[in-house]
Amino acid sequence: MLGTRELRHRIRTIANVERVVDAMQKISAARLSREKARVLGSRPYFEGVERAVRDLATTDRPPNPLLRTNPSDNCLLIVVASDKGLCGSYNSNIIHAAERFVAEHRHRRLHLITAGRKLRKFLPRAGGQVLRESISIPEPPFDAYTDELAGMIMSYYLMEQIGHAYVLYTGFRTLGANRPVLKRILPVEPVAHPLPMNYFYFYEPDVGAVLERLLPEYVRLAIWEAFAEATASEHAARMVMMEQASVNAREMIDDLVMEANKLRQAGITGELLDIVGTSEALTGRGRKGAA
């Protein structure tokens, strides 16, 4: 059983941890507010570009190398995790999803691009060729970084070194319900339900010119949106975990304070009993001497 001194030391230690955790929770909350606004502001634009590209993929169009289906059976996967921990199951969920993807595509030659220090343990088990490993994820808006990755993917696809390109990240939906999302970037997946025949789009200067400009933008935006949503999801997960850790720390402090008070009360009671016992002994001795 711990003594009063040990309990007081533990209370001070947990209180220091609670202050650090509370500060981390507030930092993540502030960053989440900024990243959430970034995601919600960019999502309609990306969805509009994606819809336009997928609509064009269903129509008669001039040939575009990024819309053709490559004969290569090789597969490229971009995995986005985080550099830091203390965010609950955020990283483990992504790693498990990546492992499932690798298991399902074991018959293919796999090319990997990873972003996040926490994925270093996953790479030795993946068994694919690592094209790029980013230990530190750049700070938002990471335009230069995503442009470089988009250029790499399109280059591999145009040279027919890969037949499919995917990105795996944690999609941001609500504060505590974010799940891994696997999105196919190339080849472009046509819409399942095209627009009715009485709807017509006119493209200027022509469909080929629009596709030539829009397809690279779509690839870049798909990667950019993945990083933006992953960053928002990471801060959301960390904020929730730090809030729960702060609550647990305060509960532990309350329990330890109560235990310390019980020990102190027991000590005071014992001292009072000693005083009363000594007083009664002295009083009885005095009576015997007087008799």
Helix, coil or strand: residue 77: strand
Q: Please report the pLDDT score of residue 59 as a whole number.
A: 64
Q: Is position 251 within any domain? A: no
- pLDDT (0 to 100) of residue 208: 75
Ranges under pLDDT 50 in the chain: 197-198
Does residue 3 form part of some domain? no
Going by the DSSP 8-state scheme, the letter that residue 174 receives in this structure is S
Work out how many domains the chain is built from and give that number. 1
Whether 9 is covered by a domain: the verdict is no
User: Rg of the chain's alpha carbons, rounded to an integer?
Assistant: 31
Residue 261 in domain: no
Give the domain extent around 232.
21-240
Q: Is 273 inside a domain boundary?
A: no
The reported pLDDT for the residue numbered 197 is 47
Contact (Cβ atoms closer than 8 angstroms) between residue 172 and residue 233: yes
Residue 196 pLDDT: 54
pLDDT for res 289: 57
CB atoms under 10 Å from CB of 164, counted, come to: 19
CATH code of residue 65: 3.40.1380.10
Does 157 fall in a domain? yes
Q: Is residue 265 part of a domain?
A: no
CA 57 to chain centre: 32
In this prediction the pTM is 0.83
pLDDT for the residue 108:
86
Say how many C-beta atoms besides its own lie within 10 A of residue 249's C-beta. 19
CB 129 within 8 A of CB 112: yes
- Within-domain flag for 257: no
